[in-house]
């Protein structure tokens, strides 16, 4: 039985190439014939935009909905993009997700639970995270088998990595 390897790209320092890495690694994997799902958990929605999806046109069908509506399934939100990468898209609604799920049971495992039904449909699931250690980031890390922390060789970036993996 196929089971996707889930990789979370995380780093508290901003602008270290989390989003660009998810996009480029996913594109390389698709070119190699792998089936890939990219998950955008950043309210900036840079990954979503990079893959040609307008965050303003999601009409409530976003990662935020996945986090906050227990009835919504991942497969109902996934968009097949022109690049051949499937996408769970984000929009600015994610800016309030911390408040929306703060009372939820096992709130750090919501994303893991929602991804479980689709792990057999993919070879790899790549999760982009915001530049902060938030409940959203914790969900992304909890769902993952592997963490990839892109850094640039500068002190603040190393500080950011310490925050991410502490
Ligand atoms: N390998 C690279 N070499 C040079 N520039 C790069 C590389 N990867 C990304 N960049 C550039 O660095 C900038 C930041 O990249 P990106 O948005 O992917 O970072 P990020 O970590 O996702 O940022 P944020 O923390 O805001 O989400 C972008 O302008 C991107 O074009
Ligand atoms: Mg980013």
Q: What is the DSSP string of 74-142?
A: HHHH-EE-TTS-EEE---GGGGGHHHHTTTSTTGGGHHHHHHGGGGGG-SEEEEE--SS--HHHHHHHH
7 Cα to the center of ligand 2, angstroms? 15
| Token pair recorded at residue 93 | 């609604």
Per DSSP, the chain holds a count of helices (H) and strands (E) of: 8, 6
Q: What is the pLDDT of residue 154?
A: 82
- For the stretch 90-147, pLDDT in tens is 999 999 999 999 888 899 999 999 999 999 999 999 999 999 989 999 999 999 999 9
pTM: 0.94
29 Cα to the center of ligand 1, angstroms? 19
40 Cα to the center of ligand 1, angstroms? 15
**Which residue lies with its CA nearest to atom 13 of ligand 1?**
15
CB 7, CB 126: distance < 8 Å: yes
Residue 157 scores a pLDDT above 80:
no
Domain count, the chain: 1
User: Which of 8, 9, 16, 17, when mutated, tests ligand 1's pocket best, judged by the most ligand atoms within 8 Å of its CB?
Assistant: 17
Q: What residue numbers bound the domain in which 141 lies?
A: 5-165
Share of the chain above pLDDT 90, in %: 84
């Amino acid at each position: 039985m196929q089971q996707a390897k889930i990789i979370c790209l995380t780093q508290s320092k901003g602008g270290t190439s989390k989003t660009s890495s998810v996009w480029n690694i996913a594109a390389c994997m698709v070119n190699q014939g792998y089936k890939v799902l990219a998950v955008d958990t950043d309210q900036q929605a840079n990954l979503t935009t990079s893959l040609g999806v307008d965050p303003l046109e999601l009409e409530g069908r976003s990662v935020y909905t996945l986090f906050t509506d227990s009835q919504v399934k991942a497969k109902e939100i996934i968009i097949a993009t022109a690049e051949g990468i499937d996408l769970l898209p984000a929009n600015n609604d994610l800016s309030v997700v911390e408040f929306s799920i703060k009372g939820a049971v096992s709130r750090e495992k919501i994303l893991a639970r929602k991804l479980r039904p689709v792990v057999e449909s993919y070879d790899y699931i790549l999760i982009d995270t915001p530049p902060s250690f938030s409940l959203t980031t914790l969900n992304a890390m909890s769902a993952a088998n592997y963490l990839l922390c892109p850094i640039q060789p500068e002190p603040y970036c190393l500080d950011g990595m310490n925050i991410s993996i502490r």
